[in-house]
Structures are given as structure tokens and as C-alpha cells.
Amino acid sequence: MNNKILTTISGSLPKPNWLAEPEKLWSSWLLQGEELIKGKKNAIKIAVDNQINSGLSIIGDGEQTRQHFVTTFIEHLTGVDFQNKKIVRIRNRYDASVPVVVSEIRREKSVFVDDAKYLRSLTKLPIKYTLPGPMTMVDTLYDEYYKSREKLAEKFAEVLNKEAKELEDAGIDYIQFDEPAFNVFFDEVKDWGIKILEKAASNLKAKTIVHICYGYGIDANIKWKNSLGNEWRQYEHVFPLLAKSKIDQISLECQNSKVPMDLIALLKGKKILVGAIDVGTKKIETPEQVANILRKAIKFAEPKNILGCTNCGLVTFSQDVANAKMKALADGANILNKELGL
């Protein structure tokens, strides 16, 4: 195996405009029944082709079969009432109407395994699948049953681990848990967050990733980011704990962010997904801008431990913008690979 800097996206890609309303988060499906099932499959194929054509090295499904990165998974579990929702504050930032945990959480059947098998059939390149992280799942619900965030998270870790094992059996090489809540609830991360994430990721042959981020470019997140001051040091709380954990790879956002690059040094021994594509602007990065970010990153970690990535998902863009951003990511990594003789 060579030591080239590989590239991948953090997860979501735009959906085709015949499948869901484009350039919007959480938009509703425009198809129904059999048509919707077929449409989602076609969309995965398009997402895979676009990533391969852009030159990325690790390929995902672009999250084409889910409306929301957390609730679509939870919809497939028993124990959660989606009819009678309640209003809660998400990550201390914005109010949302959320489903309610009313009885024991169970996963009666696999959620994404068919999609994963289909993804495997489309490419020989390494493939990755994203799942929500337990703490972020807890933070997206109202709990009337367990009445303990830790206990509920533990339940979610059990079902996530079952799902992850089946994804791995379907041929998935990388399993990513999305835990934006790790950037907010520092005490909980320390007390139980890492331990329970490790449970979700336990006994897997697939490489495991945790994606922590500052979120999509929605107003509530932009406002929050503006309140964080000149340096964003949130990762500083979490990285030393993750460095000691069994999670293999950790992501952070670097393009147009105020995250000090030296925080990477806290992740000794881990692979680091360096966010080199901004998801808050339609402006396309140049390959040189991507290469610049990666150049900064290799001051604090060996190139073989660095991957080029997006700051977060690309779902809110048009397909043309997303494709151009992915190509800039791959081309930028290639500039550096050439420079380093990799």
C-alpha cells in the first residue's frame, strides 16, 4: 500500500432534483412507493459516479436514502413515537420538534444494509458508511422512558453496533459515526460519551471514524460560530480523550474555520480527516487552497495519517457545485502527493 494522502467526503451529497427538493436540508421526497425505492437506488449510483469522476479515493452513498442524518435511522427502530412530537433545544442552539422515546429501544431489522450492499456492487474502491453517534441521537429526541441521557445513549450504542457489524459484513470498509454533539457537551463526552461511542464501534474489522463538526451552514450554526471568538478550541476538550480511544480516525473542519491547526497534534497515532472544503459557501475552492490546508496539517501529523475531507456534508449545494468542490479536493490532495513524492 502506498502512503498517498487519500480523499473522501464527510457524508451527504445533493439529491437529484427529481428525488427531493434540491439545495435544502431535510427536504421531503418527491416520489412515493416503488418509484421512491427505485429513485433512491438511482441516486446512489449517481452519487457514486460523481465521487469517482471527481477522483476521490474512499466512496460513500452520499446519504441519498435518508432525509435526516439522525432521524432516518431512528425511524427504523421501535420505541420511538414519531406522531406526537415535542419541542426541544438541539445542541443548546435551536428549537426543533422531535420524536419521543416511549418504550424500550429495539432494532427489529437492519436499516441501511441493502443500501450498503448496493454501494458495494457499484465500485471496487474502498467504501464508507455513516451512522449517527449515540450522543447526537439522544440530543435529537425527547426521552420519556429511560429518563437518563447516558442510559438511552447506551441503548443506541447497542443497536448501532449491530447495524455496524452488518454493514461490515456487506463489505463496508469504513464506518463513520457523526457526533456533532461532542463539540458542545464536554462534561458528558468525558463522563460517558467516548465510552459509549466505543461500544457502538466495538469489535469491528472496518475502520471506525468519528465526525465532529460545527454543522451545516444553516443560520443557527452560523450565529453560533460567530459567537465562538477568534479561535475555535472546542476540539481541544475532546481530542485528548479520542486519542486514547479505540476510534481509528477523527475529522475536523479547517477550510475557512477558526480551528487552530495545531490541535491535530493532540491526536497522535490517529488518522485525521482534514476538512479542506467549506460547506458554508458555494464558492469553489481552488486545488491550491485545498493543498494549502493539507500542507498546514502535515506540520502537525505525518502525511500517511492525513486524509483530505469536506468540513461537513455537501447536501445543500447544487450537484454542479458539489462536483466541483469534490474535484478541487481530489486535485488539491494530488498537488501535495506530487510535492511529497507519494
Which stretch, 25-33, 77-85, 218-226, 304-312, contacts Zn ion (CB under 5 A)? 304-312
DSSP string, 143-196: ESSS--HHHHHHHHHHHHHHHHHHHHHTT-SEEEEE-GGGGT-HHHIIIIIHHH
**Residue located via cell numbers 420505541:** 79
Grid coordinates representing 177 are 459515526
**Counting contacts by CB under 5 A, is residue 212 touching Zn ion?**
no
**Counting contacts by CB under 5 A, is residue 206 touching Zn ion?**
no
CA distances from 148 to 46, 138, 216 (A): 41, 9, 28
What phi and psi values does residue 329 have, to the nearest 5 degrees?
-65, -50
CA distances from 304 to 198, 199, 271, 307 (A): 24, 27, 8, 8
Q: How far is the CB of 10 from Zn ion (least distance, A)?
A: 6
- The residue (of 196 and 315) whose beta carbon lies closer to Zn ion is 315
- The residue (of 251 and 319) whose beta carbon lies closer to Zn ion is 251
Which stretch, 78-86, 149-157, 294-302, 305-313, contacts Zn ion (CB under 5 A)? 305-313
Q: How far is the CB of 78 from Zn ion (least distance, A)?
A: 28
- The residue (of 276 and 312) whose beta carbon lies closer to Zn ion is 312
| Cα angle value 326/296/271 (rounded, 5°) | 70
CA atoms of 278 and 217, how far apart (whole Å) = 9
- The residue (of 238 and 312) whose beta carbon lies closer to Zn ion is 312
Which stretch, 105-113, 212-220, 225-233, 300-308, contacts Zn ion (CB under 5 A)? 212-220
Which stretch, 51-59, 143-151, 158-166, 309-317, contacts Zn ion (CB under 5 A)? 309-317
Which stretch, 54-62, 80-88, 129-137, 208-216, contacts Zn ion (CB under 5 A)? 208-216
CA-wise closest residue to 197 among 236, 246, 141, 148: 246
Which stretch, 46-54, 182-190, 207-215, 293-301, contacts Zn ion (CB under 5 A)? 207-215
From 9, 116, 196, 312, residue interacting with Zn ion (rule: CB under 5 A): 312
Q: How far is the CB of 212 from Zn ion (least distance, A)?
A: 8
Grid coordinates representing 5 are 494522502
Instruction: HSE, CB side, 13 Å, CA atoms: give it for residue 178.
Output: 25
Which stretch, 62-70, 85-93, 210-218, 235-243, contacts Zn ion (CB under 5 A)? 210-218
- The residue (of 46 and 279) whose beta carbon lies closer to Zn ion is 279
Q: How far is the CB of 144 from Zn ion (least distance, A)?
A: 28
In terms of C-beta density within 10 A (0-12 exposed, 13-18 middle, 19 or more buried), how is residue 245 classed?
Answer: middle
Q: How far is the CB of 140 from Zn ion (least distance, A)?
A: 14
**Counting contacts by CB under 5 A, is residue 213 touching Zn ion?**
yes
Is residue 337 within 8 A of residue 290, CB to CB? The reply is: no
Q: How far is the CB of 252 from Zn ion (least distance, A)?
A: 10
Q: How far is the CB of 326 from Zn ion (least distance, A)?
A: 16
Binding mask 2-41 for Zn ion (x = CB under 5 A): ----------------------------------------
Binding mask 160-199 for Zn ion (x = CB under 5 A): ----------------------------------------
CA distances from 200 to 109, 126, 158, 164 (A): 17, 21, 6, 8
CA atoms of 173 and 205, how far apart (whole Å) = 8
- Coil/strand/helix, residue 20: strand
CA atoms of 16 and 258, how far apart (whole Å) = 32
Q: Which residues bind Zn ion (CB under 5 A)?
A: 213, 312
